[in-house]
A and B are shown apart, each in its own frame.
Chain A
Amino acid sequence: MAPRIGVVLFPGTNCEHDAVLALTRMGADAELVWHGATTLGHYDALILPGGFAHGDYLRPGAIARFSPVMGAVADYAASGGPVVGICNGFQVLTEAGLLPGALQKNRGLRFVCATVAVRVERDDTVLTGGVPVGTELAIPINHFEGNYTCDATTLAQLRDEGRIVLRYVDNPNGSVDDIAGVCNAGRNVVGLMPHPERASDPLLGSQDGTVLLGALLRSAGAAAPAA
Chain B
Amino acid sequence: MGDPRRFSVQVEVLLREGIADPQGATIERALPALGLDGVTAVRAGKSFRFDVAATDDADALARATVVADRLLANPVIEESVVTVLPARTPA
Binding site for B on A (CB under 8 A): 58-59, 62, 94-95, 100-102, 104-105, 107-109, 147, 149-151, 174
Shortest C-beta distance, B2 to chain A (Å), equals: 31
User: Given A101-B76, A150-B76, does the pair A62, B23 have CB atoms closer than 8 Å?
Assistant: no
Q: What residues of chain A lie closer than 8 Å to B76, measured between beta carbons?
A: 94, 100-102, 149-151
B1-30 interface code vs A (CB 8 A; 1 in, 0 out): 000000000000001000110110010000
Q: What residues of chain B lie closer than 8 Å to A109, measured between beta carbons?
A: 22-23, 26
Q: What residues of chain B lie closer than 8 Å to A147, measured between beta carbons?
A: 20
Task: Give bound CA distance, A18 to B15, whole Å.
Answer: 34
Q: What residues of chain B lie closer than 8 Å to A149, measured between beta carbons?
A: 19, 76-77
Task: Give bound CA distance, A109 to B23, whole Å.
Answer: 7
Interface SS majority for chain B = mixed
Question: Quick check: A107 and B74 within 8 Å, CB to CB?
Answer: no
Task: Give bound CA distance, A201 to B48, whole Å.
Answer: 45
Task: Give bound CA distance, A102 to B15, whole Å.
Answer: 12
Shortest C-beta distance, A179 to chain B (Å), equals: 14
Judge if B58 is at the interface, Cβ distance under 8 Å.
no
Task: Give bound CA distance, A58 to B71, whole Å.
Answer: 9
Task: Give bound CA distance, A204 to B77, whole Å.
Answer: 35
Shortest C-beta distance, A75 to chain B (Å), equals: 20
Question: Quick check: A102 and B77 within 8 Å, CB to CB?
Answer: yes
Q: What residues of chain A lie closer than 8 Å to B23, measured between beta carbons?
A: 105, 109
Q: What residues of chain B lie closer than 8 Å to A150, measured between beta carbons?
A: 76
Shortest C-beta distance, A16 to chain B (Å), equals: 25
Question: Quick check: B71 and A62 within 8 Å, CB to CB?
Answer: yes
Can you pick out 30 interface pairs between chain A and chain B where the beta carbons lie within 8 Å of each other?
A58-B71, A58-B72, A59-B74, A62-B71, A62-B74, A94-B76, A95-B74, A100-B76, A101-B76, A102-B74, A102-B76, A102-B77, A104-B15, A104-B19, A104-B20, A104-B77, A105-B22, A105-B23, A107-B20, A107-B22, A108-B22, A109-B22, A109-B23, A109-B26, A147-B20, A149-B19, A149-B76, A149-B77, A150-B76, A174-B20
